[in-house]
Structure 1
Amino acid sequence: MNFLEKITGSDMTKIMKAFEARVKVLPNEYQTAWKEINSHLWIHGDFTGRNLMPIFDSALELLEVASAEEQRVEEVLGDDIKGFCAALVGDEGANTFRDKWRDQLNKNVARKLGGLK
């Protein structure tokens, strides 16, 4: 990224367009979840929002993997997307979501290894 891109924010525009291209491939319910995640995460950004790019990338990757495994959005994100976003950025209440994710991960691993449904 050169100085001009950093000042004008054109690098951010390119990154967000790449994210949107990835989102268009997802099923509708995942696209809707992405829009909600997108709106809830921006409030946690710094002046430029560059600090959020790795978080956006990780959240989108989570949606892509879940979609490929044909999971429902609620199974992955839970009922509280705003709380999910707060947990991603490390706000209060993150431990409860981490515990929930850990339990979900353990169930998925046990199902894959043990053939359980």
Structure 2
Amino acid sequence: MRIQDIIEGKKEWRAHVARVKELPKDYQIVYKEIQKYLYKVGPIELIDGIGLLSGIVDLFEEGASLGKGALEVTGSDVAAFCDEIIKDSKTYADIYQESIDKEVNKAMKKVTDKTK
């Protein structure tokens, strides 16, 4: 990664954070909880930039401009809202599960081969 890429990434992130700070307080609170949830669940797209988070801010800006509250946009179950957003995304949990399955299958194959 070049220095210029790092600088551009930081500029993009700062602009994103500034957009979040412009949201009404209830949206800021819900956004921060969504951000925490997504970082814990770990959709892989979060590595590639802020596209997913930026899309949420777009949605929140639109909701705020229509005079809706944050929970009117997301629904009262914010985790379910997040899960719906990332339902087709590969997560770190998926990768971990695949690795465990692979290791178990490899170990089972060794056991099976020894008993033959």
Corresponding residue for 1:79?
Answer: 76
1:39 aligns with 2:36: yes
Corresponding residue for 2:13?
Answer: 16
Q: Match of 1:49, SS? A: helix
Label 1:24 to 1:12 Cα distance change in 2 as closer, same or farther (>3 A).
same
Corresponding residue for 1:25?
Answer: 22
Query: Is the CA contact (8 Å cut-off) linking 2:43 and 2:86 kept in structure 1?
Result: no
| CA distance in structure 2 between the partners assigned to 1:14 and 1:77 by the alignment | 28
Flag structure 2 segments of 5+ consecutive residues without an equivalent: 89-116
The amino acid that maps onto 1:49 is I
Where relative contact order (Cα < 8 A, 6+ residues apart) is larger, the structure is 2
Corresponding residue for 2:97?
Answer: none
Query: Is the CA contact (8 Å cut-off) linking 1:42 and 1:49 kept in structure 2?
Result: no
Aligned partner of 1:55 among 46, 52, 60: 52
* Residue 10 of structure 1, CA deviation: 4.5
Label 1:90 to 1:10 Cα distance change in 2 as closer, same or farther (>3 A).
farther
Corresponding residue for 1:104?
Answer: none
Output the aligned Cα RMSD: 2.5
Give me the TM-score of the superposition, normalised by structure 1: 0.62
Label 1:88 to 1:48 Cα distance change in 2 as closer, same or farther (>3 A).
closer
Label 1:39 to 1:48 Cα distance change in 2 as closer, same or farther (>3 A).
closer
